Structures are given as structure tokens and as C-alpha cells.
A and B are shown apart, each in its own frame.
Chain A
Amino acid sequence: MADSTLAIGAGAASTPRRQVGSLKKLARRRATTALLLCAPLIVLIVSLKVYPTFYAVFLSLLDRKMNSFVGFDNYIFLLSRPSFQLVIFQSCLFALTAVLMKALFGFVLAHLMHNIRGKNQRIWRGLLLVPWVIPLALSTLTWWWLFDPSYSAFNWTLNWLGFESIPFLGTTWNARIAVIAVNVWFGAPFFMIMYLAALKSVPEQLYEAAAIDGASAWQKLIFITLPMMRNIILITVLYSLIVTFADFDIVRILTNGGPQDSTHLFATYAFTVGIQSGNIPRGASVSLFMLPVLATLAFFVLRDVMKRNKEIST
């Protein structure tokens, strides 16, 4: 391509070879600047997210004093303990139930909101999003107060209606339900917002065409709404599964894993074992049990996002 025998007019200073060289330099300079701009991000992520993950694996293979290698002993020990087996069960139960309910509520709410047009919708939306806005730790405290064994306002209302008081956090299943309820209260608005956005993006004409074709409201839902919203539904459910599965705040504040370890999740159990009892390697092992599930979920999220990523990067 480089035609070195270029006939140059008067006053020309550059030779072709120098042209190509400095062009390359220009291109390289831009790529270096670009990388430099990304550097803080990469350094941050690698040092405080990637490295700790691998470090956690390393830690989980050590003994309590962190002097010697014990291989998979921590994992085997954990799996043999009933309290940990409960943790596995509870985490899965919690994640699946809570996400299902959040998705359902969010879906219903989105449809209800969609019926309201114009400015009013903003007001309702504003009110319904409040659970999401309040810091979770603080709103969980309020729930704890609402569930308090002696002073619960809920129980006062039940008594006033003629019912017995309920020990919300006192029994195993009550506590589990309470934890799930708080999580659903907190997360449903998120689902509502996402689904509402998705609903808005379904062209009105599709529904009109279906109406002419004779579809009932139920059929419209099944054959038009759900398929068009499929992507958003999938992404929000997967994302929420990941976040709910790894939740810490609610259980820690509401029940601290009790009563009798019946509400412990991986996160809270890891905290109790690792930080409170001071057994770092075992705590790391607890956390790492989440990795396979998280990785699988992340894989599915990634696959869906990659499709859209192609359009975005350059």
C-alpha cells in the first residue's frame, strides 16, 4: 500500500514512510489514553472484587489459625452440621419464594399502574416506590419494632379485631415468613418499575389487532403481554435471585439467624462464623457455597446482556 515512489510537489516535507509511522503513533496514543481512563475502574475492580474472590478460596482451605492447609475440611465440616444444612435450605427457600412473590406483586402492580394515565400515575408511582428508597437497615428496624413480641402494633390490631397475638419472630416458620415478607415489601417496587417500563414499551396496536382477532383479556395477557415482556421478566428475576440469595441486612437485623438458626442465610451465617466467632477460613467457606449458584445465575444474565452489549460498545 505504501507507495514510496510518490512524486512530491514543491515544498513537501514528509516522506511516505514517516507518514505511516506517525499515523501509527497517533493511533497508539489514543488507545493508551483510552486505557488510562479505564485504569481506575480496572484497578478498583481487580483489587477489591476479583482478588478477594480468589483470596476467599485460598482462605477457605486454611485452618482456624490460618497457619496450615487443611484442604476441604472446612467444607466437609460445614456440610455435616445440621445448622448449616438449614442455611442451605433456608437460602434457597428464601430466594425462590421472595423472588416469586416480588415478581407477582410487581407484575400486578405494573398492570394496575398502567391503567392510570398521565400525571396521576406519577403520584401513585411515587408513593409505591417509597419502600425501595428508605435505607433497608432502617426500614428493617421499623419492621422489627412492628413485630416486637410485647409491643407489636400488628398484634394490638389483631387483638382489637378479636384475634390472638402472633409471635411473629418467635417461631421458626413465623420468622421465616416475616423475613420473606420484609424482603417482598422492599423489593416489589423495583419489579413494579421495571415491569411498568416494559409494559409501556409494548405497542398499543398489538392489543388492538388482537381485539379485532377476538382475543379476551386473558388471552391478550398470555399471547401478547408475556412474550413481549419475556426479556425484562427474565433479567429482573435472575438479577433479583442473585441479590436476594446473597441478602444480609434483613435477617441480621430482624432475627440474627434465629430462632435457633432457622432463618440464617449464607451471608448472616458467614458473618456469625467468620467475624463474630473469629473463624475466618470457615466463614469464607460458608460464603463460597454461594458461588456455584451465583455463577449459574450470572451466566444466564450475562448471556442475555451480551446480546445487547454488542450494540453498545463502539
Chain B
Amino acid sequence: MTSVTAGAGAVPRKPKVGSLERQNRWALRGSYAALSVFVVMFLIPPFYMIMTSLKSSAEISAQKGNPWIAQNPTLENFIYLISNAQFQRYFFNSVWVTALVVVISMTIAILAAFSLSRMGFKGSQVISTGVFLTYLVPPSLLFIPLFQIVGSLGLINNTWVLVLLFPTLAVPFCTWIMIGYFSSIPRELDEAALIDGANYLQILTKIFIPVALPGIIAATIFAFTVGWGAFLYPLAYLYSADQAVLTVGIVRELIRGDVFAWGTIMAACVMGAAPPIIIYTFLMDYYVAGLTAGATKG
């Protein structure tokens, strides 16, 4: 790579260094270009979702001009939904179901993870692995037998059935995440706390939970995402409008073959997607941590 010329008439050395830099700069520009293409591709649906939600039914049916931009943006769809009792019901159901599910799932997961990662007892290894295994059993396998079980419990068409079933979707992975985070806390911390006079409950609440807080947030976000966006179980077990949650409600009730309602439908989707997106905007790092925790810590 040397371009040393003997004697005078020196070839300036700078271009050598410069060309490497320039190479890197071109690579960077190329990366940005490619990434921009991907970003556009990835964000087309959300963008169009928002755009459509701002269109009136008249505008949608008229089909004049560029559908990618709302010609006469209006909030009438949103206003309609917010004042619509049925939609309010869907939203309300989603909120309380998800809230309960998150609390239940995290409680079960934290207690179990504390026990499995710290209080070593015979079979804890088996249970840990078993927990992870069951995470791989998909809801599409279980929903049919569960239909019978739920039926015999008299919970068909009752929103409470989701509070019973959704934890099964979240708890295995949440436990897995928490086991990973708890295990990374050095044992000496427990011992120092024991000597300081803490009992096991105090060790959990005053030491483990604060120190593993990032993991708890990540796991909570995961439980929320699962509960809020679940579709199969609600579709299979809930039938009347007042029992439904957002995902099912929007898909089933609002689609009535009436094309012009798409503005409303998209507005409903925007409102349904808003809570996860908002949480995501503020807690993005925990979102990512939750995803990668599965692989790197466990």
C-alpha cells in the first residue's frame, strides 16, 4: 500500500489516509440510503393507517386523487369513536383486562423467578427448563381443548376468561427474563442483607426488585404487549360486543362490508395501537432489552 517515490517530487501521503476515510464515508452514506429505504417500507402501513383515519367517508368513497395524503383531513372518525358506547366498551375492556393480566403475570413470574434462581432446591432446574418449554407451545394448539375447558367453567363469552388465559401467554417468558436478571445479582448481596437482618421477603422487595428493575420493566412491557394485542383467544371465546376487547372488537364488529367505514376502522386501529406506541416511545430501551434478554441472558 505504500506509494513512496524515491527522491523529490513527493506524492502527498494524505490521500492514502483520506481514501480510507472516504471509503468509510461512502459506506456510511450507502448505509443511510439503504436504511432509509427500509424505514419507508416499514413505516408505510402505520403512515397509511393514520392518513386513512383522517379521511371522511365521503373522501374515501370518492376515490379522487392521491390516497396517500388526506385531502381534507378531519377528526370526525375519532370523535365518532370516542363518543361511541361500543368502542368505549372495547377500549375499557382492553384496559382492565391488560392491567389485571400484567399484575397477575408479573407477580407469578417474580415469585417463581426468585424461588428458582435463588432458593435452590431439587427440581428447580427441571422447572426452569419446563417453563421455557411451555413457552414454545403455541396458543393455536391449545385454543380448541381450552374451548371445552372454558365452556365447562361457564366462561364462554365472558371477558374474565381472558384474565384467566392471558397469563399463560406472558408468564413463561416473563419468568425467563426475571430468572436471568435475578441470577446476575451476586450472591454476596443476599448474604450481606441476611446479616444486616433482612428476611427473604425483605430481600426480595428491598434488594432484588430495585436492582433488577430494568428487567422488571422489560418483562412488564412484554406482558402488556401480549395482553393488549392478543387476538386468537378473544376471537374464539368472546362473542357479544360488550364482552369483546379492542382487537376482536375492531376486526369483527366494525367490518360490516361497508367500505366507507374504513376511515373509522383505521381511526380505531390508531387508537388501539396508540398505547403500545406511546409506551414504546418512552421505554424503547426496555422493549429491546426484553427481546434480547431471551437470548443473551437465557
Contact = CB atoms under 8 A, between A and B. Distances in A.
A12 interface: no
Nearest to B110: A37
A70 interface: no
A207 interface: no
Interface residues of A, number: 104
Interface in A32-62: 33-35, 37-38, 40-42, 44-45, 48-53, 55-56, 59
A236 B130 CA distance: 19
B42 A52 contact: no
B155 interface: no
Contact of A153 (B67, B145, B147, B292): B67
Contacts of B115: 33-35, 37-38
Grouping DSSP codes into helix (H, G, I), strand (E, B) and loop, the A interface class, with mixed when no group exceeds half, is helix
Contact of A194 (B139, B229, B291): B291
A125 interface: yes
A287 interface: yes
Contacts of A252: 231, 235
A150 to B, nearest CB: 7
Contact of A242 (B35, B136, B171): B136
A215 interface: no
Given A31-B119, A153-B67, A193-B288, A270 B144 contact: yes
Nearest to A35: B121
Contacts, number: 310
Contact residues on B (Cβ < 8 Å of other chain), bracket: 35 or more
A228 interface: no
Interface in B231-288: 231-232, 235-236, 246-248, 250-251, 259, 262, 265-266, 269, 272-273, 276-277, 280-281, 284, 287-288
B48 A48 contact: no
Given A135-B228, A309-B129, A130 B43 contact: yes
Interface of B: 27-28, 31-32, 34-35, 38-39, 41-46, 48-49, 52, 60, 63, 66-68, 107-109, 111-112, 114-122, 124-125, 127-134, 136-149, 164-165, 167-168, 171-172, 175, 179-180, 183, 200, 225, 228-229, 231-232, 235-236, 246-248, 250-251, 259, 262, 265-266, 269, 272-273, 276-277, 280-281, 284, 287-288, 291-292, 294-298
